[in-house]
Amino acid sequence: RGRFSKPTEQKSRVTFADVAGQDQAKKEVEELVEFLREPDRFQSVGAEVPHGVLLMGPPGTGKTLLAKALAGEADVPFFSTSGSEFIEVFVGVGAGRVRRMFEAARKAAPAVIFIDELDSIGRTRGTGLGGGHDEREQTLNQILAELDGFDEKQAVVVLAATNRPDVLDPALLRPGRFDRHVTLNLPDKTARRAILDIHARDLPLADGPALDDVAAGTPGFSGADLKNLLNEAAIGAARRHAKAITAADLEEARDKVMMGTVRTLAIQP
Ligand code: ATP
């Protein structure tokens, strides 16, 4: 992926059925499907539909998944980028990159744009350590300009994800920008079970009730952690040359993921 690569446009095959739990967040995002499918119906009666939606919630709770599901359900192109890429990959070309991505999405409209880790470019301006944040500010200003530049005829929905809404520049949250907020939470036991069901669909599980035990024993796990747990359990079964995943594999995997989680938490600033 080069510096001057074209904006990433994808076709999403994800649907709302792939997102377990998060009922409230799903409901709020579902409202946008109709608008993307038939923007004319809304425009002809002068209805203003929001362009910017902020998805807030801890890592691994399905923010990216939900954005992809919106594009998949509406059957429109999905353009995505991540805030951290602007710091690490697109150094010096951030603003241009933003402009080109919005331009491509407008041409392809109706379309969905997804900006992951918005906080890495969208932090409050002028408070960075050591100054010299012109580059990031230019990128942020370009995002603001693009959001302001939509007219009501352009059916482009911009979703941005963050797990630090508290550090975002207030300019991003003004009316007409990311003024609709959707919260995703860590899953409760029922939601954890539903997430496990989705990701265990194609896995050979030896004993039926084992997933109930996993759901009960994983408070604090995100959807991504649970997916990870199932994969670790499958790796464990393969190492034993077994044909099916047992309760013991699941338990061992749970401990592994839990230690991993604890370690990541410990090194976070
Ligand atoms: P981050 O903040 O780290 O970018 P995120 O909130 O965007 O995380 P995703 O990337 O959507 O999280 O989640 C990672 C993976 O975990 C998803 O691709 C999916 O497989 C699984 N997952 C997370 N949440 C759910 C969920 N509610 N239902 C089903 N799968 C989920």
Pocket test for ligand 1, best of 14, 64, 188, 202 (most atoms within 8 A of CB): 64
Note the pTM of the prediction, 2 decimals: 0.89
Query: Torsion angle, CA of 70/76/82/83, rounded to 10 degrees?
Result: -90
Backbone angles phi, psi at 80, to 5 degrees: -135, 150
Helix (H/G/I), strand (E/B), else coil: 94: helix
What is the 149 CA–ligand 1 centroid distance (Å)? 31
Pocket test for ligand 1, best of 65, 66, 225, 268 (most atoms within 8 A of CB): 65
Q: What is the pLDDT along the chain (269 residues), one digit of tens a residue?
A: 444 445 577 888 999 999 999 999 999 999 899 999 998 888 889 887 778 999 999 999 999 999 999 999 999 999 999 888 877 776 677 888 899 999 999 999 999 999 999 998 877 766 555 455 677 888 888 999 999 988 777 899 999 999 999 999 999 999 989 999 999 999 999 999 999 999 999 899 987 678 999 999 999 999 999 999 999 999 999 999 999 999 999 999 999 999 886 555 555 44
Helix (H/G/I), strand (E/B), else coil: 59: coil
Is the beta carbon of 195 within 6 A of some atom in ligand 1?
yes
Distance of alpha carbon 208 from alpha carbon 95, whole angstroms: 52
- Nearest C-alpha to atom 31 of ligand 1 is from which residue? 223
Helix (H/G/I), strand (E/B), else coil: 245: strand
Q: What is the ipTM of this complex?
A: 0.96
Tokens 């906080």 locate to 119
Helix (H/G/I), strand (E/B), else coil: 159: strand
In DSSP terms, 160 is beta-bridged to: 54, 115
Distance of alpha carbon 59 from alpha carbon 76, whole angstroms: 26
